[in-house]
Structure 1
Amino acid sequence: MTTLDPRSLLYRQLDPAEAQAIARDTLARCDDGELYLQFIAAETFAFDDGRLKTADYSRDAGFGLRGVSGEMTGFAHANEISAAAIRRAGETLQLLDPAKGQPAPPPRLNNRHLYTDASPLDLIPFAQKVALLETIDAAARARDPRVAQVSASLSASWSVVEIVRADGFVATDVRPLVRLNVSIVAEQNGRRETGSFGMGGRRLYDDLFAPETWNRAIDTALAQALTNLESVAAPAGEMTVLLGPGWPGVLLHEAVGHGLEGDFNRKGTSAFSGRIGERVGAPGVTVVDDGSIAARRGSLSIDDEGTPTQETVLIEDGILKGYMQDRLNARLMGVAPTGNGRRESYAHAPMPRMTNTFMKGGNDDPAELLSRMKSGIFAKSFGGGQVDIVSGKFVFSCTEAYLVENGKLGAPIKGATLIGDGPTVLTRVQGIGNDMALDEGVGVCGKGGQSVPAGVGQPTLLVAGLTVGGTA
């Protein structure tokens, strides 16, 4: 375990007491705001086509100074942590109108740690990381003669953040993050298809180096590639769709989750604006955002404003209960922040963002849900998609899907896309499995030009009347 004091990385040129004094001076005219200090180290290894293609390592440190007055926000940042640089940034906040009300109260203090403070970058030698990818490449190629190409990547980051407020509040969080990805191209009779699998979370590399872990990644990616070699053209039209558990929750994340973030609802631009207490989903549909699950990719001990994360019930039994809130939108809407104020880095201002967003499980047996279907498709895994955040309209491509005929899985299909809008999908849920699962830890969420790690999940879902764009 590392013995380095993470705070020392932030205060090599700035005394902690001086940081608090600067925050007090520069934010004196504001309702709210903070000095956000960050150090981050990151590495990426990529093995492709039988050789190491990438071995990157980077370090960065800087600050973001944000002041909020009413609905106005002033923000400045620099990749230099020094008193002089922060005071220069503070000049930006002089452009804000002086606060007229009482300053917003600080977040409640929190000593909870959802992940280790140790750095995953330091505990395993460089050569061992490369050797793992070489081993994965060789093992995947030995699995099946149809394996034509293997790509494997390993990445990690270690971020230390400190939040300093004018009222004396100070909070520190040390955030590890690791990820392993395996992609396999299989070839048969001149046809090539791809399968992929990834996993990770806020932990160390240890479990990713365990043979049972990376072998599972190989087996899952290979099985998907070989399945797709047998795929037939996807049908098109409106039909019943069975969505698998776990990663297919990315559809819920994009099509519904963004519309439940506080900023869109405060501004009245979401399909869910002003609908608290109304039915927005079928009975049994319960959707939560929970950033407090230990070691998950989307989890945070505190958000990027210092608010402890929590389970926030968004939809309960089909009824809209609330939104995900950062401090600014919560204050303007007269509600409490929910621990969803997130930013990509010190160079970005926070905004309301999802952490781990998922639908809770129901009581239905997934096999029974399949047996209900006369015809349709079973979507087991998704790839990319496009979403209109405001309306929830989406187009998602399936990376592994099957025909369903008379309650049984049929041939795998290729080229299927799901088309619809999130609010409508919620009302068309006809069955909720008892097999809720979170994804394996690979999600990345984009909003407003910022990307943050996020988690998704759901049980098996039976949905009627989804439009399938096919190739048949």
Structure 2
Amino acid sequence: MISTADSRRFLYRNDLDPDAALRLTADALRACDDGELYLQYIASESFGFDDGRLKTADFNTQAGFGLRGVSGETTAFAHANELSQHAITRAAETMAVLDPARGQRPAPPRRTNASLYTDADPLSLVPFARKVALCQEVDAAARARDPRVKQVSVTLAGSWSVIEIVRPDGFVAHDVRPLVRLNVQIVVEQNGRRESGYHGMGGRYLYDGLFEPEAWNRAIDIALAQALVNLDSVAAPAGEMTVVLGPGWPGVLLHEAIGHGLEGDFNRKGTSAFSGRIGERVAAPGVTVVDDGSIGARRGSLTIDDEGTPTQCNTLIEDGILKGYIQDRLNARLMGVAPTGNGRRENFAYAPMPRMTNTFMLGGRDDPGEILSRAKNGIYAKSFGGGQVDITSGKFVFTCTEAYKIENGELGSPIKGATLIGDGPTVLTKVAAIGNDMCLDEGIGVCGKGGQSVPAGVGQPTLLIEGLTVGGTAA
């Protein structure tokens, strides 16, 4: 275990110490409604193993701060990759563009003694050679699985971040955040046809979990199975039809098509399809959606958000009724509600905004097999690739990376080229069955918004959706 004092030495260096940080923050933000000094140190590494050899091996460290002042709806923000009193003093000049505070300052975040993940550094605990050896093992094992395997790509990545949040009211919060991930992509060939499959896993823990043979062999099996299934795929049908979504990762559709529309900034500005609809029915009975950043060791989890607010489980939709939005401090204050622990930023060079953590739909009572038989005819979407969403309307287009026809209530031929087209609010009302098999994804989600990317988690049970438009390739 690393003590707080040991990890703080990555932030306080040269002439900058904790007392100076408190003093400089109080001076810089004395006329602001809200704001903070955000200090951060980040170490990250990645290994790319391709064509049977190590292609890339990167290691980077960076440290810096972001100084933010808020007055009314206006934010002033300055950042630098230098941790010194001089740099912070210079950044404080930016705060002069703000009008003086007009009201009582909001209370600082509540404190927590919780810790959702280890503070140990995963990068330093495993030697370089062992990380390369893991990539080689995965590559060799994947190629030995099936003679049709023609290409294997293995990516191993990790980071370790130390952050400290200093507020002008004297509040200080500290967090140490590990993050690791393993990706396996396999290309197979048969009769001149090539297809690929992919699987990834990770979370806020040490490399140990990824180095277990059971874990990486499972990643190989899933990626290979997907690739081989796609070798036999036929052109996807098109039109409006019944769609069954598998559990776990397909929750990325929920994240994009619905989750972003429940973020506080879009709703405060009235640009979301869910704006002003608290208390209204927005989904079919039985649909309950939560955002929970307090699940231990999950990729999207944080002990505290990037404003110092402890994360929690926020019920967004309950039994089909819209209950609330996810909030950072600024939008919560302007909307007259409490922050929900969702103020997030990519790193010190960005100001925080309301962002999802782990967003998922709770399970229901239906048996997944019975859901499939109820569908009769349609498609079963097991895994997704990329997608596009319009926040204002909720309209989305998602590409299926593994999908099947449903014929007479049973899985039929695998299909290729299927896209799901619709809008989030409408999809929620068309949920006709909710499985009892809810699960979260295995730790690969990356959420983009406003030019920032952050780790995120998704999840859902098997869902039956009646009347969703499917874009296909069949004539």
TM superposition score category, shorter chain reference: over 0.9
Contact in 1 for aligned 2:344/2:354 (Cα 8 Å): yes
Deviations 1:14-45 (A, max 9, x none): 11001000011101000000000000000000
1:330 equivalent in structure 2 = 332
1:92 equivalent in structure 2 = 94
Identity %: 78
Once residues 113 and 215 of structure 2 are traced to their aligned partners in structure 1, the CA distance between those partners, rounded to angstroms, is: 31
Structure 1 counterpart of 2:464, which letter? L
State the Cα distance separating 1:374 from its structure 2 match.
Answer: 1.9
1:365-404 correspondence runs (5 A): 365-404=367-406
Contact in 1 for aligned 2:273/2:391 (Cα 8 Å): no
Q: Structure 1 residues 53, 2: CA separation in 2 closer, same or farther (over 3 Å shift)?
A: farther
1:11-50 correspondence runs (5 A): 11-13=12-14, 14-50=16-52
Once residues 201 and 292 of structure 1 are traced to their aligned partners in structure 2, the CA distance between those partners, rounded to angstroms, is: 13
Deviations 1:351-397 (A, max 9, x none): 00000000000000000000112210000000011111221111000
Gaps of 5+ in 1: none
Gaps of 5+ in 2: none
Once residues 313 and 374 of structure 1 are traced to their aligned partners in structure 2, the CA distance between those partners, rounded to angstroms, is: 33
Once residues 345 and 282 of structure 1 are traced to their aligned partners in structure 2, the CA distance between those partners, rounded to angstroms, is: 38
Deviations 1:95-141 (A, max 9, x none): 10000111111000111100000010000000000000001000000
Secondary structure of 2:393's counterpart equals coil
Deviations 1:253-274 (A, max 9, x none): 0000000000000000000000
Corresponding residue to 1:101 among 94, 103, 115? 103
Once residues 295 and 393 of structure 2 are traced to their aligned partners in structure 1, the CA distance between those partners, rounded to angstroms, is: 29
1:416 equivalent in structure 2 = 418
Once residues 316 and 137 of structure 2 are traced to their aligned partners in structure 1, the CA distance between those partners, rounded to angstroms, is: 44
Once residues 286 and 53 of structure 1 are traced to their aligned partners in structure 2, the CA distance between those partners, rounded to angstroms, is: 44
Once residues 251 and 140 of structure 1 are traced to their aligned partners in structure 2, the CA distance between those partners, rounded to angstroms, is: 29
Aligned: 1:124 with 2:123: no
Deviations 1:412-455 (A, max 9, x none): 00000000000000000000000000000000000000000000
Once residues 380 and 102 of structure 2 are traced to their aligned partners in structure 1, the CA distance between those partners, rounded to angstroms, is: 56
1:1-400 correspondence runs (5 A): 1=1, 5-13=6-14, 14-400=16-402
Once residues 8 and 373 of structure 1 are traced to their aligned partners in structure 2, the CA distance between those partners, rounded to angstroms, is: 58
Deviates more, 1:324-333 or 1:390-399: 390-399
Secondary structure of 2:124's counterpart equals coil
State the Cα distance separating 1:2 from its structure 2 match.
Answer: 5.0
Once residues 392 and 43 of structure 1 are traced to their aligned partners in structure 2, the CA distance between those partners, rounded to angstroms, is: 36
Secondary structure of 1:122's counterpart equals helix
Structure 2 counterpart of 1:7, which letter? R
User: What RMSD over aligned residues (CA atoms) do the two structures have, in Å?
Assistant: 0.7
Once residues 57 and 37 of structure 1 are traced to their aligned partners in structure 2, the CA distance between those partners, rounded to angstroms, is: 21
Paired residue total:
472
Secondary structure of 1:371's counterpart equals helix
Once residues 182 and 2 of structure 2 are traced to their aligned partners in structure 1, the CA distance between those partners, rounded to angstroms, is: 22
2:472 equivalent in structure 1 = 470
Structure 1 counterpart of 2:146, which letter? D
Structure 2 counterpart of 1:9, which letter? F
Structure 1 counterpart of 2:157, which letter? S
State the Cα distance separating 1:466 from its structure 2 match.
Answer: 0.4
Deviates more, 1:239-248 or 1:390-399: 390-399
Once residues 396 and 97 of structure 2 are traced to their aligned partners in structure 1, the CA distance between those partners, rounded to angstroms, is: 40
Secondary structure of 1:171's counterpart equals strand
Once residues 86 and 135 of structure 2 are traced to their aligned partners in structure 1, the CA distance between those partners, rounded to angstroms, is: 45
Deviations 1:126-166 (A, max 9, x none): 00000000010000000000001000000000000000000
Structure 2 counterpart of 1:258, which letter? H
Deviations 1:187-208 (A, max 9, x none): 0000000000000000000010
Secondary structure of 1:159's counterpart equals strand
Secondary structure of 1:9's counterpart equals coil
Secondary structure of 2:154's counterpart equals strand
Once residues 393 and 375 of structure 2 are traced to their aligned partners in structure 1, the CA distance between those partners, rounded to angstroms, is: 29
Once residues 234 and 121 of structure 1 are traced to their aligned partners in structure 2, the CA distance between those partners, rounded to angstroms, is: 43
Once residues 386 and 319 of structure 1 are traced to their aligned partners in structure 2, the CA distance between those partners, rounded to angstroms, is: 26
Contact in 1 for aligned 2:271/2:391 (Cα 8 Å): no
Normalised by the length of structure 1, the TM-score is 0.99
Once residues 430 and 38 of structure 1 are traced to their aligned partners in structure 2, the CA distance between those partners, rounded to angstroms, is: 46
